[in-house]
Amino acid sequence: MEDWMDETDYHIMRLLQQNARISISQISKEVSMSQPSVRERIKRLEEKGIIVGYTATYRHQALGRGTTAFFLIKTEQCQALVDFCERTPAVTDMYRISGEYNYMIKVQTASIEDIGQFQDSIIKFGPSKSLISLKNLIENRILL
């Protein structure tokens, strides 16, 4: 916890994480502060790099991307793999990890067949292991 942050800052961040479109007016009511004070706190959180952006979340099934898989990949072609994943729309997340494999990639597609095609396309980078999600139990958890 940053020394300058207090419970009100965390309350504001929780409200923004739950609904990035919440109005300053509504936040000020929730935290019992004036709108200018809330606006100033949010500005300070942005300037300090605590808040780095505002996003919308989507139901992947509604977008035709209800099939999720994770790939563990062992490669020495690190930058080539990163470049490939940046160009591949099905890749939603990529992590550098420790252990036997050095990357974990999350892929959202329309079907198992698409997962297979993705797996075929990464063979050139080295050995991989795929894990197909059967059910999403927790996603986009509120961190605060």
Q: 32, exposed or middle or buried, with CB in 10 Å at 0-12, 13-18, 19+?
A: exposed
- Is the whole-model pTM more than 0.85? no
Give the other-Cβ count within 10 Å of 84's Cβ: 17
Q: Is the Cα dihedral 115, 85, 94, 46 positive or negative? A: negative
Per residue in 25-81, pLDDT tens?
999 999 999 999 999 999 999 999 999 999 888 888 888 899 999 999 999 999 999
- State pLDDT tens for residues 116-138: 999 999 999 999 999 999 998 98
Tokens representing 130 are 């795929």
71 Cα distance to chain centroid: 16
- HEC secondary structure over 76-98: CCHHHHHHHHHHCCCEEEEEECC
- CA angle (2, 4, 7) in 5-degree steps: 85
